[in-house]
Amino acid sequence: MNLNKALKVVAPIMIAALILFISGSYQATISQAENSEASSQSSVSYQPPSSSSESSQMQSSSATESSSSQSTQTKQKSSASASAPDKPLPLQPVAAPSGKCIVGYFPSWAYLNNYSPSDVDAAKLTHINYAFASISSDNKLVMNHPKTDIKNFEGLRKLKAKNSALKLLISVGGWDGSKNFSNAALTAQSRETFANSCINFIVTHKLDGIDLDWEYPVSGGFGGIINRPEDKQNFTKLIQAIRQKMQQQTKKDSKKYYLTIAGAPSSGYLKNIELTKILPYLDYIFLMGYDMHGPWDEFADFNAPLYTPQESSPQYSSSINDAVQTYLNAGAAASKLVLGMPFYGYRYEVTNNDNYGLYQTFSNGKSVAYSKIVTDYLDKYDKSEHPQAKVPYLFGNDTFITYDDENSIAMKVQLAKKLGLAGVGAWELSQDSQNTLLSSAYSNLF
């Protein structure tokens, strides 16, 4: 066979082989891209603690959607790059609350006070923070008491029937639950893991947001709390990572998600966070306007004085007004501060009856709910109100009790309004079982 005849025979065969090779490579690329996307969808799915039938329905729906998506992509012959994950949305600042807020913490242990979600006066609240979830050793948001928590979530969601504007947030951490915050905030990967788990959690349990109660960045708090100097910067990055995921979720379901933090009432706390950097990505800061003094001190003193007493005191002096001014002076927008108030007091067994027990040493001190103060002490002990601190106190049987009542709550709410704060809040609802203090806060705010 001469060369020309050979080329006529071989050339079509070579071209056909080349076409088959290219086509096979292309289809393999498409298949690989589709499998990658399906794998990505599977890796971020979160199975709620629901019935097996619900789980099966979710899995079946997910499989159908995945199959349909793959079929459509194959028909359109999309490129591998088209299935790559979307680029992160540019972080957008969050506006301050448009109306006044009343925030109440609902603790998982409320049942110990014979208090349940059905006892909450939902009409007088704008936000409820459920306390607490924690952070696992692998940097994920987890429930502390799943059986109790899920039951409480169900009860709290029912409150929206009474107040459709009510928002439900899961609060993470707390005094003895902040151990792993520093680890979760440490690296880009740990922040990504935690942020994803936050979104999965609130979507699964039909909540509206996350409240971060890290006690405390840099300085630590309760024994065993992990802390590092770089917590200051990492806290900012953690907040940004969560807000980023919230924006992405909003793009999917058009729902607004809330991100807040609980902040300590001290300049020391503010030195350990980047206040002006985190504030744009928060809906508000819940300023913990309490525990100015407590059983950790040497002398019996006021839990939450509105203003600083001017008389001589054997220990440091501070007040709620001072704390708010410290935040404002540090650059906080008043419209993003919620003033937290205590629905509890402290009871001290003092060793000296001078000054009705105020500023005296004590042998024992512990917290006491407002409801218990009313039932067990109010009619039995002498009541006074400090003219400068603007808070009441009781004295009797070598016992000094510092607390807040309807009048002192009203004055704190009036200060918040005067300073243009976003609103007020309380730790915590079960300690005011008759809703006496909550009603005072509500009537004076609106």
Q: Which residues are catalytic?
A: 215
What span, in angstroms and rounded, lies between the C-alpha atoms of 230 and 378? 47
| Cβ neighbours of residue 357 closer than 8 Å, sequence gap 6 or more | 300, 348, 350, 393, 395, 398, 399, 400
* Helix or strand (DSSP H, E) at 249: helix 231-253
End-to-end CA distance of the chain: 101
Residues in the chain: 446
Q: What share of the chain is helix, strand, coil (3-state, %, to 5)?
A: 45, 20, 35
Q: How many CB atoms lie within 10 A of CB 280?
A: 16
> Which of 88, 83, 86 is closest to 38 using CA atoms?
83
Q: Are strands 399-402 and 344-350 parallel, antiparallel or unpaired?
A: antiparallel
What span, in angstroms and rounded, lies between the C-alpha atoms of 112 and 114? 5
Tokens of 96: 């301050």
What would you measure as the largest C-alpha separation in the chain, in angstroms?
124
Pure H helices in 44-145:
52-76
Tokens of 312: 């001589």
